[in-house]
Amino acid sequence: MRILFATSEAVPFWKTGGLADVSRALPDALVARGHEVLIVHPYYRFLDDAGLPLEVGGYARIPWPGGAMTVRYLSTEEDGFRKGEAPTLFVDQPYYFDVEDPYGPTRFDRLAAGRRFALFCRAVVDRARAWGAELIHLNDWPTGLVPLYARIDRLPTPTLFSIHNMGYQGNFPPGLLPEIGVPSDFYRIDDGVEFYGTASFLKAGLSMSDRLSTVSPSYAREIQTPDFGAGFEGLLHSRRGDLHGILNGIDTRVWDPAADPAVPMNYDVDSLAAKELNRVELLRELGFDDRGPLFVVVSRLVEQKGIEFILDSLDALIGRGVRIAVLGSGDRRYEDALARAAEAFPRHVAAFFRFDEGLARRLYAGGDYFLMPSLYEPCGLGQMIAQRYGTPPIVRATGGLADTVEDGVTGFTFEEPTAEAFQEAVGRALWSWRGPDWNAMRRRCMRLDRSWRRSAAEYEALYDAILSGR
Ligand code: ADP
C-alpha cells in the first residue's frame, strides 16, 4: 500500500509528546511490513538547527485566497536518509512556519496556528495527489482540514483520522475561514467545521474523514461519553461503527535498557542487579540518600496528567520515606509548587523543568516506581517505557493506562480521581517494594511485548478494510 502519513510532529524532528513517537514508529513499522509510507511534516524554521540532510523535492502552487501560495518541498528520500525508516517530505513556507511554538498563537495573532496548519493541510492534499497516495493517514487537529480541502480540490483518496488527544481541538474564530480558503457553507454543524460557534479543525477531521481511530480501546469507548468526549461525544457515538481503538506500541529500538546509551549501566530482564547500579547513580545525581523508594515522573506538567494528586500527596509520601524526582514542563502553577517542594525538602524532592531526553532515560532506568495518575490518558507512552525499563508504573485506570497496566501484576492502578485513591495505590506499591514479588513484577513488566509489530498489523487491517470499502 502507498500511505501518506501527515503529522505536525515526529521524532527526531520535533516532539512535544507521544504523537511524535508514534509518527516515527508506526510509519517505520509499516515500512518493515513492505508498505510505502511517506511522512509529510511541516518544515518549522527551527529545524534549520538540526542540519538535516535535505534535498529540494520541488515546488507547488497551492490554491489559496488571493491566488495561490508557493510552497517548497524538502525531502529526506533521495539519499536514503536512514535505512529502514519511512522517508519524510517537509512542507516549507517561511511565512507560515517560522515560529518558536507551532501550536500556539503568536503575541499579536490569535489565528496564526490556524493559518499555518490550514496551509499544511492543503499542501498534504497536493502531495497526496502528486505522490499517488492510496490512503491518507491523519493525526490530530493540525491535520483536521485535509478531508475538507480534499473535497474542495476533488481528491477522492480515502482518509483515516487518528485521535491522539481530544483535549487539543484547534478551535478558531470563524473569521479564520475566508483567510484559509474555506467556503462559508462548510461552517455547518453536520459534516462541517462548526463547533459551538468556532471553526474547529478537530471537528472537520472527525466529521469528514472516512474512518476514525484512537490510540487505545478504552479511550475509544470513553470518548463517546461526556466526561471524555470534550464536546464531541455525540458525534463520536454516532460514528462508533467507524471508530477503532488500536493500542500504541513503543519503539523498542529506541527504548531498550539493554542498549540505551544514555543509561549508565545497560541491563535486561536477566540482569536486574545492573538496574540497581543505575538507581544508585541516579540517587547521587539527585542528591538523595538510599533510605527509601524512588518515585519518578516524566511528563508534561498539565492538568490532564493528574499532577494535582502528586502535589496533594507530597507530605504523605515524604512522611513514608519516599524520594521523588520529577522531570517535565508545562503549567507555571505546577512548576512553582514543585520548585517550592524541592527547595523545602531537598533530600526527598527533586524537580527539573525542561525537556531532557537523557535525564528522562536515567529516570526510567533508575527509578523504583513511575507515577502517572492521569485524569484521562488516550494511550500514554510513559507507563509502557517505564515497564520496559523494569520500573512498575502507578497509574489511574483510565484510557490506555487501563489497557496496559494490570493492577498488582504489571504495576498498580486506582480508579477514583482523588488523592486518597492515589495514595492507596501508592501504599500497596510501598508494601511490595523489595518484597517477595518485587523482582518478579519488574520482570513481568520487562517481558511485555510492546513492540509496534502487533499494532502495525492492526492498522494494516484497518487500511485494508478502508480500501476495500468494508
Ligand atoms: P503525552 O503525549 O500526553 O505527552 P505520552 O506518555 O503519550 O504523553 O508521551 C510522552 C512522551 O514524552 C514520552 O516519550 C516521555 O518520555 C516524553 N517526555 C515527556 N516530558 C518529557 C521531558 N520533560 N523530557 C524528556 N522527555 C519527556
Contact 40, 91 (CB under 8 A): yes
Ligand 1 pocket, residue 360 CB under 6 Å: yes
User: Which residue of 335, 363, 375, 381 sits with most ligand 1 atoms within 8 Å of its CB, as the best mutation to test the pocket?
Assistant: 381
**Backbone φ and ψ of 67, nearest 5°:** 120, -110
- According to the model, what pLDDT value does residue 82 have? 58
Answer for the pair 350, 340: CB distance below 8 angstroms, yes or no.
no
Q: Name, in order, each residue with C-beta under 8 angstroms of 349's C-beta and a sequence gap of 6 or more.
A: 314, 318, 323, 324, 325, 326, 338, 341, 342
Collapse the DSSP code of 285 into the 3-class scheme (helix H, G, I; strand E, B; otherwise coil) and give the result. helix
Q: Model-level pTM?
A: 0.93
**Is the shortest distance between the CB of 357 and ligand 1 below 6 Å?**
yes
* C-beta 380 within 6 A of ligand 1: yes
What lies within 8 Å, CB to CB, of 390 at 6+ separation is: 257, 267, 269, 272, 275, 442, 443, 445, 446
pLDDT at residue 79 in the model: 46
97-125 mean pLDDT: 92
Alpha carbon separation from 235 to 208, 229, 231 (Å, rounded): 11, 9, 9
DSSP class of residue 250?
-
pLDDT at position 84 over 70: yes
SS3 state at 7:
coil
Q: Is 403 in the pocket of ligand 1 (CB under 6 A)?
A: no
- The per-residue pLDDT for range 171-230, each reduced to its tens digit, is 999 999 999 999 999 999 888 999 999 999 999 999 999 999 999 999 999 999 999 999
Report the distance separating Cα 205 and Cα 227, nearest Å.
21
Q: Quick one: which of 121, 35, 127 has its CA closest to 73?
A: 127
CB 219 within 8 A of CB 351: no
Protein residue with least CA distance to atom 22, ligand 1: 355
Contact partners, residue 332, CB within 8 Å, separation at least 6: none
pLDDT in tens, 391-420: 999 999 999 999 999 999 999 999 999 999
How do the residues of the chain divide into helix, strand and coil, expressed in percent and rounded to 5?
Answer: 40, 20, 40
Among 7, 214, 256, 299, the mutation site with the greatest number of ligand 1 atoms within 8 A of its Cβ is: 299
250 Cβ below 6 A of ligand 1: no
Residue identifier of the C-alpha nearest atom 26 of ligand 1: 357
Mean pLDDT, rounded, for 286-304:
96
Residue 287 binned pLDDT confidence (cut-offs 50, 70, 90):
very high
Pick the closest to residue 167 from 360, 303, 352 (CA basis): 303
Cα–Cα distances in angstroms (integers) from residue 158 to residues 137, 292, 379, 418, 458, in the given order: 9, 55, 25, 43, 18
Q: For a ligand 1 pocket test, name from 9, 164, 300 the mutation site with the most ligand atoms within 8 angstroms of its C-beta.
A: 300
More confident residue, 254 or 157: 157
The pLDDT score that the predictor gives to residue 105 is 78
- Across the chain, what does the average pLDDT equal? 95
Distances in Å between the Cα of 325 and the Cα atoms of 37, 176, 350, 364, 451 are 39, 43, 5, 11, 27
Per-position DSSP letters for 17-68, written without gaps between them: SHHHHHHHHHHHHHHHTT-EEEEEEE--GGGGGGT---EEEEEEEEEETTEE
For residue 234 the three cell numbers come to: 455525540
Q: Measured from the CA of 383, which atom of ligand 1 is nearest? A: 6
For residues 396 and 404, what is the distance between their CA atoms, to the nearest angstrom?
11
Nearest to 381 by CA among 26, 81, 19, 109: 19
Helix (H) or strand (E) holding 214: strand 211-214
389 near 233, Cβ under 8 Å? no
DSSP 108-143: TBTTHHHHHHHHHHHHHHHHHHHHT-SEEEEESGGG
Q: Is the pLDDT of residue 80 over 70?
A: no
Task: Evaluate: CB of 330 within 6 angstroms of ligand 1.
Answer: no
Least-confidence region, from 95-109, 114-128, 191-205, 335-349: 95-109
d(CA 389, CA 54): 34
Pairing state between β 294-301 and 88-92:
unpaired
Tell me: pLDDT of 385 over 90. Answer: yes
Count Cβ neighbours within 10 Å for each residue of 255-274 and write b for 16 or more, e otherwise: bebeebeebbbbbebeebeb
Mean predicted confidence (pLDDT) in 356-366: 97
